[in-house]
Amino acid sequence: MNGTNAPAPPAELPAPETPATARDADPRQATSITPTLRGGLRRARTWIAIGAVAILGAVALLVLQGGIRGGGPPLGADNPAPAGAKAVVEVLRAQGVEVDEVSAFDDARSAARGGATVVVADVAGFLDPERLGELADTAERLVVIAPDFASLDALAEGVRLAGTASGALDGAACELPAAERAGTLSDGQGLLRIDDGARAAGWQGCFPDGEFGFALAEGPGDGGRITIVAAPTAFANETIDEAGNAALALGILGETGALAWYVPGIEDVDAATAPTLGELTPGWVTPVILLLIVLVVVAAVWRGRRFGPLVAEDLVVDVPVAETREGRARLYERSAVRTHALDQLRIGALGRLLGILKLPRSADVREIAHAAALATGRDPYATERLLVDEEPADDRRLVELAAAIHELEAEVRRTLRPDADPTQSTERPGRPS
């Protein structure tokens, strides 16, 4: 049997003309158009810059605020910030008063037993009312600045908070020498109301605001005299030089030669008596939460009924690849993602070329491109650029590249499988991946 009936080998196809730039291109210097982390960061550099500026601005604001407020708690004896009390403490020391800064309850109680005037500046409300009452029973002279409701209950029955003064207060209207020397107080004072029972027990108010209340209350305690100032305005650095604030502060704090300035801290909080979350929660929170839950349920039922009852419907199992391809193509076109669309075409072509060229599954993209160029006689660099590197500038170029990829695949198939039917589609119906 001779070989006269054997099929003739395929004719050598001429290599297509390629641009000079494609022939001279080095595949190692080709730029991949697959989205990378660097490319994503480059596209988002505007938002990254805006975020960096916002973060730097926030940090600068925190630094400036920290510099303005300074270190230390409000009314701290060593706090030079506007809310601190370093100014009045330094003046007291200059007048010969020995000022001892204490931050623990035991130290304050020891100073009270030694006869020193004790100032309690518990603006944050750390000190337990029972401990404050114990301190009042021990100190011969106790000054309490800006107490809360519980602290007033422990100090003086019948003395209550009464809001804020309407303006500056003129006239002491009491027999307290320090208040009489001050004469007036600046704006920003708090008010205390003294009922008849407290008056009968010896309590008096100074600097009245009409019938609303007094800026200061003074009366007897179990251990000595107690002075209550409703607001820290007369002692704070930023307001002590207004009106008679300084005279009042120096007068009530400088009566004795020793002064213990006590600012309670978090270590003074009694865990056993600390309020629970339910006690701290306002009473209106629970009804509002229940109302919101009811509204959410009603809204869900209302919106759900608008669409009618659910209908069971059998869906098709097999979706033709042509329909899937067309749908995805329309999505890509609508989103103008030419790079992603071209990548999908290249991935599919490379997978089929891998099988046609009988290459191992471990072969990379460039090995497949070079094998396809070797099989068809094309320029390796041009083939690699077609399958890997070239980026479509517009829709027209995307169509051209898609056609060129299809033509390359068909040429490889004709070269290596001359008996295959070129009109037979390799696509099978199925669900899209």
Number of structural domains (the chain) is: 2
Residue 398 lies in a domain: yes
Tell me, what's the pLDDT at 339?
86
Residue 192 lies in a domain: yes
**Residue 201: C-alpha distances to residues 147, 158, 195, 356 (Å):** 20, 9, 10, 107
Tell me how far apart the alpha carbons of residues 23 and 191 are, in angstroms, rounded to a whole number. Answer: 91
Helix (H) or strand (E) holding 154: helix 149-155
Tell me, what's the pLDDT at 228?
96
371 and 234 assigned to the same domain = no
Show the tokens assigned to 405: 């990829």
Please check whether residue 261 is in contact with residue 117, taking contact to mean a CB–CB distance below 8 angstroms: no
Position 239: which residue type?
T
Neighbours of 37 (CB within 10 A): 7
Tell me, what's the pLDDT at 293?
94
The 3-state DSSP class for residue 140 equals coil
Helix (H) or strand (E) holding 412: helix 395-416
Per the structure, the complete domain to which residue 399 belongs is given by 318-416
382 and 264 assigned to the same domain = no
- Tell which residue, 261, 366, 335, 333, has the closest CA to residue 26: 366
pLDDT tens track of the chain, all 433 residues?
A: 444 444 444 444 444 444 444 444 444 444 445 556 676 777 778 888 888 888 988 888 776 655 455 567 889 999 999 999 999 999 999 999 999 999 899 999 999 999 999 999 998 888 888 899 999 999 999 999 999 998 999 999 899 999 999 999 999 999 999 999 999 999 999 999 999 999 999 999 999 999 999 999 999 988 899 999 999 999 999 999 999 999 999 999 998 999 999 999 887 776 565 566 776 677 788 889 999 999 999 888 887 766 666 666 676 667 777 888 788 878 877 877 888 888 888 999 999 999 899 899 888 888 999 999 999 999 989 999 999 888 888 888 889 999 999 999 999 999 887 765 555 544 443 344 3
Residue 39 lies in a domain: no
245 and 391 assigned to the same domain = no
Tell me how far apart the alpha carbons of residues 217 and 213 are, in angstroms, rounded to a whole number. Answer: 10
262 and 340 assigned to the same domain = no
User: Burial level of 368, CB count in 10 A (0-12/13-18/19+)?
Assistant: buried
Distance of CA 428 to the CA centre of its chain: 51
Tell me, what's the pLDDT at 30?
44
Tell me, what's the pLDDT at 13?
41
331 and 262 assigned to the same domain = no
Tell me how far apart the alpha carbons of residues 242 and 233 are, in angstroms, rounded to a whole number. Answer: 9
393 and 253 assigned to the same domain = no
Distance of CA 232 to the CA centre of its chain: 33
Show the tokens assigned to 389: 């590197």
214 and 98 assigned to the same domain = yes
CATH number at residue 245: 3.40.50
Tell me how far apart the alpha carbons of residues 194 and 297 are, in angstroms, rounded to a whole number. Answer: 51
Classify 140 in phi/psi space as left (phi over 0), alpha (psi -120 to 50) or beta. alpha
115 and 215 assigned to the same domain = yes
Residue 3 lies in a domain: no
Tell me, what's the pLDDT at 431?
40
Point out which residues pair with 258 in neighbouring strands: 98
First-to-last alpha carbon distance for the chain, in angstroms, is: 50
Place of tokens 């303006």: 167
Residue 308 lies in a domain: no
